[in-house]
Amino acid sequence: MKDGLPPRRCAALAYATILRDRRALEPALEHTPGYRKMSDRDRAFARAILATTFRRLGQTRKVLDKFLAKPLEETTEYAAALLVTGATQLLWMDGPPHAVVSTTVALCQDTTETYGLKGVVNAVLRKVSTEGPDLAARTAPRDNLPDWVSRSWRKAYGPGTLSRITNVQMQPPPLDLTVKDPLERERWAETLGAEILPTGTLRRKEIGDVTQLPGFREGAWWAQDAAAAIPATLLGVKSGDHVADLCAAPGGKTLQLAALGARVTAVDDNEGRLKRLRDNLSRTGLRAAVAVEDVRRFRPKGPADAVLLDAPCTATGTMRRHPEAGWIKKPGDVQRMSKLQLEMAGAAARMLRPGGWMVICTCSLQPEEGEQLAARLLETRKDLKPVAIQDGEVPGLAEAITPEGWLRLTPALWADRGGMDGFFAARFEKRS
Kindly list the structural domains of the chain, giving each domain's residue range(s) and its CATH number in brackets, ordered by start: 5-138 (1.10.940.10), 216-430 (3.40.50.150)
The backbone region for 240, taken as left when phi is positive above 0, alpha when psi lies in -120 to 50, beta otherwise, is left
DSSP 45-91: HHHHHHHHHHHTHHHHHHHHHTT-SS-GGGS-HHHHHHHHHHHHHHH
Chain centroid to CA 185: 25
The residue annotated as part of the active site, out of 10, 108, 313, 363, is 363
pLDDT greater than 80 at residue 315: yes
**pLDDT digit string (tens) for 64-117?**
999 998 888 888 999 999 999 999 999 999 889 999 999 999 999 999 989 999
Give exposure, 361-382, as e/b (b: 16+ Cβ within 10 Å). bbbbbbbbbbbebbebbeeebe
What pLDDT score does 1 carry? 38
> Has 363 been annotated as catalytic?
yes
| CA dist 202 → 84, 123, 346, 399 (Å) | 36, 47, 34, 21
Is the omega angle on the peptide bond into residue 250 within 30 degrees of 0, that is, cis? yes
pLDDT greater than 90 at residue 3: no
| d(C-alpha 233, C-alpha 128), whole Å | 49
Are the C-beta atoms of residues 369 and 338 closer than 8 Å to each other? yes
> Which one, of 377, 385, 349, 365, lies nearest residue 166 by Cα?
365
What pLDDT score does 418 carry? 93
**pLDDT digit string (tens) for 187-236?**
999 999 999 999 999 999 988 889 999 999 999 999 999 999 999 999 99
Are the C-beta atoms of residues 261 and 286 closer than 8 Å to each other? no
What proportions of the chain, in percent to the nearest 5, are helix, strand and coil? Answer: 50, 15, 35
3-class DSSP assignment, residue 93: coil
**pLDDT digit string (tens) for 296-311?**
999 998 999 999 999 9
| CA dist 266 → 226, 245, 307 (Å) | 21, 5, 10
What pLDDT score does 253 carry? 98
What pLDDT score does 74 carry? 86
| CA dist 147 → 58, 143, 276, 327, 347 (Å) | 10, 8, 34, 10, 34
DSSP 373-430: HHHHHHHH-TTEEE-PPPGGGSTT-GGGB-TTS-EEE-TTTTGGGT----EEEEEEEE
**pLDDT digit string (tens) for 254-271?**
999 999 999 999 999 999
| d(C-alpha 314, C-alpha 373), whole Å | 13
Percent of the chain with pLDDT over 90: 94
| d(C-alpha 2, C-alpha 103), whole Å | 7
CB-count exposure of residue 297 (10 Å: 0-12, 13-18, 19+): exposed
Chain centroid to CA 351: 28
